[in-house]
Amino acid sequence: MSTPELDSKATRTRQDAWAAPVSKMTVGQVPEGAMNLNVEGRQPVSPLQGFGQLWQKTFRVRLSGLEMSPEEVMRIWRENFPKFQPPENRFYPQMTGISPGAVVLINAKVPPLPGMPSMLPVSTGVMVLYADEEMFTVMCPEGHPLSGWNNFRVFEEDGTVVAEVQEMSRASDPLYELFNRFLGSSAQQDRIWTHVLTQLAAHFNLKGQVTMTKTLIDPRVQWSEAKNISKNAGIRTMFYLLGTPFRWIGNSFKADGK
């Protein structure tokens, strides 16, 4: 039987699993090599604020034969979170790592059309909404391709440790929805989570078979959220990169004028 003191400690710890309330994301120190273009000052967005259809996608891999607890697997997953991403999806956690309230910057490249190589840059990020010993959740900022969150969870099922990624999101704006439905972005996202779980299994020297289930929770689009396109991280990243030579020339003049 547990003592009231222990119960109180457990409750405090579990409440600490949630990020502190914020209305806007703050990045703080930008990790070396990362771009912070579309995260600082942005509001976190749930599946309710996006434009497109609301999907729940669940990816799972059974880590058969692994002699570890779900908590140990989760600890390793959190510590190696960027390492398990595909090469075109670079994650830059802050010094605090995957901890509640931390921001993880993402510099990604996406294919412009199905079958083409990933070449369109998107600078974005996510905020860790929740993190405990068995799961963590990241929430997207305004302008991110998806409006919503991803759960990363490890649990035991029939004596086998199972790792799961569950995405619950809408495309943030009409352009992202177009890419999702007709230009392969949704399938690209599916490949990312399949890659992540395959890499997690490979970390334990296992060959994991990733399964996916998709549920269309809301087939409607939300036209009231079409305005989100003004914060589209892909468009803003593209304009930022196109402006790089002009900023460089401008900075040179400023330096010469001193």
Partner 1 sequence: MSKTNIVVTDRKAGEDVHILDIQGEINAYAENELMDAYTQASSNNARWIILNFSDLEYMNSSGIGLLVTMLIRVQRQNQKLLAFGLTDHYKQIFELTRLSEAIIIHDTETAALAATNGAHS
Q: Which residues bind partner 1 (CB under 8 A)?
A: 11, 14-15, 17-19, 21-22, 44-49, 54, 56, 129-130, 132-135, 137, 139, 149, 151, 153, 155, 166, 168, 217-218
Pick the closer one to partner 1 by CB: 59 or 121: 59
CB of 23 to partner 1, least distance (A): 8
Pick the closer one to partner 1 by CB: 19 or 105: 19
User: Phi and psi for 103 in degrees, rounded to 5?
Assistant: -105, 135
- Rounded Cα distance between 242 and 125, Å, is 21
CB of 200 to partner 1, least distance (A): 18
Pick the closer one to partner 1 by CB: 123 or 189: 189
Pick the closer one to partner 1 by CB: 44 or 52: 44
Half-sphere exposure of 120 (CA within 13 A, CB side): 16
CB of 134 to partner 1, least distance (A): 6
C-alpha dihedral (75, 166, 90, 190), degrees to nearest 10: 140
- CA neighbor of 87 nearest in space, from 222, 236, 191, 240: 191
CB of 129 to partner 1, least distance (A): 6
- Rounded Cα distance between 144 and 73, Å, is 28
